[in-house]
Amino acid sequence: MAKTLSLIRRLAAAGLLAGLTGLAASPMATAAPFEDTIAQRAIACTACHGPQGRAAPDGYYPRLAGKPAGYLYNQLLSFRDGRRHYGLMTQLLEPLSGPAGDAYLMEIAQYFSQLEVPYPAPLPTTASAESLRHGQRLVKEGDATRQLPACVQCHGLAMTGVSPNIPGLLGLPRDYLNAQLGAWKNGQRRAHAPDCMKDVVARLSLEDINAVANWLAAQPLPASTKPATALPALAPGAAPISCGSAPAAPSLKAAEPKARK
């Protein structure tokens, strides 16, 4: 809690928290000239997520730039509404409720989804060759004996995500991947029902999670890092997956933002 309050104070002192919530900054605060642009208001997010949402170097604040707008929007709603748990995000988003708040969160999501900035090179891995092979098999083929689908079935053959609701898994640090898969497994992270990730991760062992995270984090990004526009064809014998947070016919119109500069 002390760490959260400290960061909130630093955001407020820089005029950044006011930019996110739309409130006026303190007259005593030192801030950039007010421009009333989504780019300026989104600076509040970059205090943790890195310049232009490129991700923080500590491995725990993920990249926002270029992720599908529907996915980013759903995650903002999940933090605000209690399906994901991180005190700072919850406190920042709680004031943004109702139709106006939903529209503002969609605007933020769309802004970051449109940013095209380069990814860093993957860090070297210390995982064993056997563990990396195991992770690669699970990502690309799954495990039919455990009714475990391949990651590529939903996240795209290039693992860069599928617009508008499914995120890419490349370019994420191993620690972040481990933390999020662990959160799904212990119930700290949830999604709209049917919660497909909860069902998938329930079939993963801790060894599986570590292998998948190590392999994904070690992969270079493809030439095009944009999300795919459609799901790949099902592999022979694979069953379709129903996900409440990634509907088959998604629409982002429910919370269209007002026109802004």
Residue 31: predicted pLDDT: 63
Mean pLDDT of 182-208: 95
Of the given ranges (10-19, 58-67, 143-152, 216-225), which has the lowest mean pLDDT?
10-19
Query: For 29-175, where are the E strands, in sequence order?
Result: 161-162, 166-167
Q: What is the pLDDT of residue 210?
A: 97
Mean pLDDT of the chain: 86
What SS3 state is found at 162? strand
Bigger pLDDT: 112 vs 120: 112
Highest mean pLDDT among 19-23, 26-30, 234-238: 234-238
Domains of the chain: 2-113 (1.10.760.10), 129-245 (1.10.760.10)
Using alpha carbons, select from 154, 173, 183, 159 the residue that is nearest to residue 246: 154
pTM: 0.81
Q: How far apart are CA 238 and CA 233, in angstroms?
A: 10
Q: Are 138 and 106 in contact (CB under 8 A)?
A: no
Distances (CA, A) of 33 to 29, 40, 41, 89, 260: 11, 9, 12, 25, 17
Whole-angstrom Cα distance, residue 30 to residue 33?
Answer: 9
pLDDT higher than threshold 90 for residue 19:
no
**Does 6 score more than 50 pLDDT?**
no
pLDDT at residue 256 tops 60? no
Q: What is the token pair recorded at 216?
A: 């994904």
From CA 221, how far away is CA 188, in angstroms rounded?
29
Q: What pLDDT, on the 0 to 100 scale, is given for residue 32? A: 64
- Tell me the pLDDT band of 78, cut-offs 50, 70 and 90: very high
